[in-house]
Structure 1
Amino acid sequence: MTDEIVRARFWPRRISWLTIVLVLLALGSFVAIARPSSYYPMPMGYGEGGGSRGVVEDSVSYSPPSMPSKPMYDMGATNGASMAPQGMPGREAYYPYPYPGQDVPITDTREFLKVNYNAEMRTRDVGGLVRRVETTVRGYDGRIDQESSSPKYGYVNFAVPMSKYDAFRTELEGLVDSRFLTLNISSQNLLPQKQSIEEQQKQADSTLADYKAARQKIVSAHTSAAQSLQSQINADEQQLTSLRAQPQTVEVQAQIQALTNEVITLRARLSNENASYSAQLKNADANIKYAEDWQKAVKTQDQALLDNVATVTGSVSIQWISLWEMAQLYLPGYWIPTIFAVLAFLSLLYDRRRFGTA
């Protein structure tokens, strides 16, 4: 009996529609937030990890430099030096390729950071925000690689210079409030790849120097051998001229025949030496061309790596947001049903004052 009297004194004689609506809104918003299947946007600074702004380490693919084909085979030589210097790649050797290691000494503090920028924005005007993002990218000398736009979703894939990345990021992130922005920025130091390229550059330079030295050795050996043979031929021909001027006795004729045979043999050896030299020189030039192509390939790869580091690639995805989702971003958690419940209680108190109690 006492409880009934207390309830009668607390409840107003009449409950207004405003109080009823506020109670229904409090219950409805509580159920909507508490349902596990309902989508609940998380603003910046909420959720696991304490925030959405973060740097995530991500792997960046690295392809080895495109090397030229194998060097020319070394041809055998009857005279002169061997084509390939000792310790150098021979006829069956490919380009040596040191794969990038993962353990970089701390003494090398260089940084070749490849940055990938990804942002998710939410807005009521998807098309307008897509156009503003494109304008921002182009305003910082960037490039649009892919773009799509619809009433509910938009996407922009872009690339901008690393030198303008900080200013670009500041302006881009200022297009929306931080509550409607989620960032995922990944970066990786390509120092192992850079060290690998530098090691290849050293090997290419050393190989080219060895091939050029081997070519010079072939030229020197051929010059010496050819001069020696030609000198012997000239001496024999002079002696033949002298013998032919003498009375042609049996002994003189025998000497002439012997010298003639020796001159024929020496000329054959000289011809073989010239042919062997021509083949060796052709092979030496092919090996030098091989080393020069390797050198160019490494330089091209090095420039490609530097260009890759100097370019920030990224994407911005844009999603439409409803008014209810916006309210949840401004009032996260159970703030909305709590506010409706407080307003409903205040309205109930006003109804008691307005209509009195039973």
Structure 2
Amino acid sequence: PKSNLFEFKYQIEQLTHKKLYVEGSSSINLLNQKQGIENRTEDANETLYRLEAQKEELDSAHAQRISSLNSQIFNLESSIDTLTSQIPAVDDATDSEIAWYESQIAGMQSQLSQLKRDKSNENNSYNSQSSNLLSRIGNAENRLDMLDEEDQDFTENIETVNGTLRIQWISIWNLVKEFSPIPMGINVLILTILCWRILQKIKIIPRFRVV
């Protein structure tokens, strides 16, 4: 986490001198990724809104259609009952009169059967369309949940620092070069003189005297 970066840097500084490590940093432009999440979220919201509107329209149209069919069925059933009650007794009516009543009732029953089939078809069609819309609405809601999780992960990752720690050996020469306050040429000269004097003292090389 980014909040632990400074603590980590402090711990590294305690292990070694600041001149002995090099810190590098880089950044990644995440604006496009953030905009991509926002655009996909906007599209998913629009899709969900459109599907919910279609579902409401379907429910309203279905309710009106069923109400109309129920009203027609009720009226026909009432008419059939009324006409049936008006059929005269066999002894009081001719065959043609009875046949007329039966013909009217048969016609109404045929219409009634058709209305009931229409109602059944309407219910089947509604159930199919409603199920399809509910499935698509569920998918759209799941899509929004996934995008919300992606956005949360993005927010967490943007506060995370990734990096590597590399340890490299440094030679004595480079160590002296790094910490010496005087130029290396002078250091070499001083070191040469010291070595020469030490070698003379231990009689490895002779002493030269100017006479």
TM-score range, shorter chain: 0.7 to 0.9
Q: CA deviation at 1:343?
A: 5.7
Task: Give the structure 1 partner of residue 210 of structure 2.
Answer: 357
Structure 1 residues 189 and 173, CA, compared in 2 at 3 Å: closer, same or farther? farther
Structure 1 residues 192 and 311, CA, compared in 2 at 3 Å: closer, same or farther?
same
Taking structure 1 as reference, are residues 269 and 285 closer, same or farther at Cα in structure 2, changes over 3 Å only?
A: same
**Off by >4 Å, runs of 4+ in structure 1:** 342-348
Deviation at 1:321, TM superposition (A): 3.4
Partner of 1:299: 148
> 1:238 Cα shift?
0.4
Q: Which residue of 2 aligns with 1:165?
A: 5
1:323 to 172, 189, 209: 172
- Paired residue type of 2:187: I
Q: Distance in 2 between matches of 1:267 and 1:173?
A: 86
CA distance in 2, matches of 1:281, 1:223: 13
Find out whether 1:237 has 2:82 as its counterpart: no
Instruction: Give the superposition deviation at 1:166.
Output: 2.7
Aligned match of 1:219 in 59, 67, 89?
A: 59
Shift of 1:338: 3.3
1:339 counterpart residue number: 187
Is 1:206 equivalent to 2:59 in the alignment? no
When residues 254 and 344 of structure 1 are mapped into structure 2, their CA distance, relative to the original with a 3 A threshold, is closer
- Rg comparison, structure with higher value: 2
Q: Per residue, is there more helix in 1 or in 2? A: 2
**Is residue 187 of structure 1 aligned with residue 27 of structure 2?**
yes
**Unaligned 5+ runs, structure 1:** 1-160
Residue 327 of structure 1, CA deviation: 2.2
Shift of 1:330: 2.4
1:283 aligns with 2:132: yes
Identity %: 32
Q: Which amino acid aligns with 1:285?
A: L
C-alpha separation between the residues in 1 aligned to 2:192 and 2:83?
A: 139
Deviation at 1:168, TM superposition (A): 3.0
Partner amino acid for 2:102? Q
Residue-by-residue CA offset, 1:265-293 (whole Å, 9 max, x unaligned): 00011110010001001101011011111
By how many angstroms is 1:340 displaced?
2.9
Equivalent position SS for 1:185: coil
* Amino acid in the other structure paired with 2:100: E
Report the counterpart of residue 255 of structure 1 in structure 2: 104
Please give the per-residue CA displacement for 1:179-210, whole angstroms capped at 9, x wherever unaligned: 21012211124222112211221221121111
In structure 2, what is the Cα distance between the partners aligned to 1:328 and 1:253?
122
Is residue 268 of structure 1 aligned with residue 147 of structure 2?
A: no
Aligned length: 193
User: How many Å separate the matches in 1 of 2:152 and 2:187?
Assistant: 60
Alpha-carbon deviations, 1:282-331, whole Å to 9, x = none? 10101101111110111111011111112222221123334334223324
In 2, the alpha carbon distance for the partners of 1:266 and 1:343 equals: 115
- Quick one: distance in 2 between partners of 1:325 and 1:345? 20
Q: C-alpha separation between the residues in 2 aligned to 1:329 and 1:187?
A: 29
SS of match in other structure, 1:188: coil
Range that drifts further, 259-268 or 196-205: 196-205
Specify whether residues 252 and 177 from structure 1 end up closer, same or farther in structure 2 by C-alpha distance, changes over 3 A only: same
CA 1:198 to 1:277, structure 2 compared with 1: closer, same or farther past 3 Å? Answer: same
CA shift digits 1:227-271 (9 cap, x unpaired): 111110110000000011012522211110110000000001111
Partner of 2:16: 176
Find the aligned partners of 1:214 and 1:173 in 2 and give their Cα distance: 64
Q: What are the equivalent positions in structure 2 for 1:126-145 lying under 5 Å apart?
A: none
TM-score when scaled to structure 2? 0.81
- Greater relative contact order: 1 or 2 (C-alpha under 8 angstroms, separation 6 or more)? 1
- Equivalences for residues 4-43 of structure 1 within 5 A: none
